[in-house]
Amino acid sequence: MTGSQVMHFALHSVELLQPLMTEAMKHTPAWRCWLKHNELFALCVQHSFATSDTARLDGLVVDHSRLFDQVPEYAGLKKPKHHFAQHLAIDVHQFGPGRAYWCFGFEGFNRVIKLGARRSNMKNEDVSIMRYWSVKSACALVRPSRVYESTYAAGG
């Protein structure tokens, strides 16, 4: 899945998954943790923030961390991203909504890099990627003029 697809799934996962879950599943620590994560994530992707939202964001991070620690299957799985989440409220207060500086646009470029690497047959990957990107860029630069010329030649 692309980053955008994962984001949209995460935002709608509660509505999608709840009808499929038993009552026992809905009372597990993992589900409670996911609900809190979902609430936190939905707040993070807002287009604008009020001061009260940043305070709420800080509380959700603390609640999610506490719930994460209660899931036995997650023991030992905390990563640096869990620490960085503690800075979300301050970051939003200082820099505004994450939409202004997130990396979704750059994540799509990873696909181009992977395609270039795949064509390398795992030999001189960096050179292969550079050649692949150079040719792809050159083709993109040439295409608009071809479209213009064919439109002009057809009288359009």
Contact 54, 71 (CB under 8 A): no
pLDDT beyond 60 at 61: yes
Q: Output the pTM of the full model.
A: 0.69
Residue type, 81: K
pLDDT score of 138 = 87
At 150, the pLDDT band (50, 70, 90 cuts) reads: very low
Q: Give the largest CA-CA distance in the chain.
A: 69
Distance between CA atoms of residues 89 and 131, nearest Å: 42
* Token pair of 136 as six digits: 């792809």
**Residue ranges of the domains in the chain?**
3-102, 108-153
Task: Please list the alpha-helical segments (H only) found in 70-124.
Answer: 80-85, 88-95, 104-107, 109-118
* pLDDT at position 147 over 50: no
Contact 85, 124 (CB under 8 A): no
pLDDT the model gives residue 103? 81
Compute the distance between CA of residue 130 and CA of residue 124 in angstroms, rounded to an integer.
10
Mean pLDDT in residue range 97-115: 81
97: left (phi over 0), alpha (psi -120 to 50) or beta: beta
At which residue do the structure tokens 């905390």 appear?
A: 78
Residue 115 pLDDT:
82
Give pLDDT, residue 155.
47
* pLDDT given for residue 146 in this prediction: 53
pLDDT score, position 148: 47
What is the tens place of the pLDDT at every residue in 6-58?
889 999 999 999 999 999 999 999 999 999 999 999 999 999 989 899 999 99
> Residue 124 — left, alpha, or beta (φ > 0 → left; ψ -120 to 50 → alpha)?
left
pLDDT: is 23 or 137 the higher one?
Answer: 23
